[in-house]
Structure 1
């Protein structure tokens, strides 16, 4: 089965985990991609994607953390600093890398964080299918203070580029793993 390795931007549809967060949001973005095979879970998909974040992006996070901490924003750490596998007994309220788990369902996870300037929520959702499936990553941001708007000026366009890139990279990795398994 051939799977496209380009993510496409989509709306956060009614029924999506973050749809209830859309009213009053200042930024909303979603991208979806078809995968050759279904990941173990949405949480595992997030962990795999986070570990694939390019080093240059974590470099930007280091700069962000150093500068933003002076302005009252949290030091988040590195996006790639996640475990290889989801911790046993992972539950709402637990930290997973730079985010806190806000919701867990059979096919989705909502992760988020907030400070005095903004609240960000990210969902990873698996669509229907036993073998292949759709994977959607959505983000919704609510701003609390004017500095949040300034912060989002460079973040929003970068987010619109990096998320589809990461989804494409993940889809290619999943397809390669599927070929490796088939060759055995």
Structure 2
């Protein structure tokens, strides 16, 4: 088991919300971190993490959006463009930043987006820990067309780098005095 605040890559387990989406996927990744205390909800953990995305990553999103718009594809917006608190009455089908809520439980949320080239699903799940709480972020991508494979070439290494960094940053901030 990993130390509190230290993220590690893990398998998407059979009990994970995204496990049923693994067959036929072209990319699957999960990382988790132990937190000193439990967040208010999985949705709130996602919002807190999204708001702390570093500027360099938002710059990559801007490049992605600019390039995709030139190719006639959708502009997703900025990862950080999420509310501070989970909206009252948040439900499946609602937008939350760049994603649509696909599934929602007390301990987990699945967010996703699709276009003609790929479908991405992201889950944030809270689990028990003997001295805190486990937080796991998982991603599963299904490609629909060859362009999706090309699109994923730069995405995969960046994703594998940024997710553990974001989890560790979140764990440090949650442990800091005065963090909500």
Give TM-score, length-normalised by structure 1: 0.93
User: For 1:119-174, what per-residue CA distance to the aligned partner results, in whole angstroms no more than 9, with x for missing partners?
Assistant: 00000000015972000000000000000000000000100000000000000001
Distance in 2 separating the partners of 1:64 and 1:131: 40
Q: For the residues of structure 1 that align with 2:26 and 2:58, how far apart are their CA atoms?
A: 24
Does residue 105 of structure 1 match 2:108? Answer: no
Please state if 1:49 is matched with 2:49: yes
- List gaps (5 residues or longer) in structure 1: none
| Equivalent-residue separation in structure 2 for 1:42 and 1:107 (angstroms) | 6
Preserved CA contact (<8 Å) 1:101 1:112: yes
Task: List alignment gaps of at least 5 residues for structure 2.
Answer: none
Q: Secondary structure at the match of 1:161?
A: helix
Per-residue CA deviation, residues 27-71 of structure 1 (Å, 9 max, x unaligned), is 000000000110000000000000000011111101100101222
Across the aligned residues of Structure 1 and Structure 2, the Cα RMSD in angstroms comes to 1.4
* Partner SS state of residue 128, structure 1: strand
Number of residue equivalences: 177
Alignment of 1:123-134 (within 5 A): 123-129=123-129, 132-134=132-134
Paired residues of 1:49 and 1:166 also in contact (CA < 8 A):
yes
Distance 1:23 1:31 in 2: 19
- For 1:141 and 1:71, locate their aligned partners in 2 and report how far apart those are by CA, in whole Å: 21
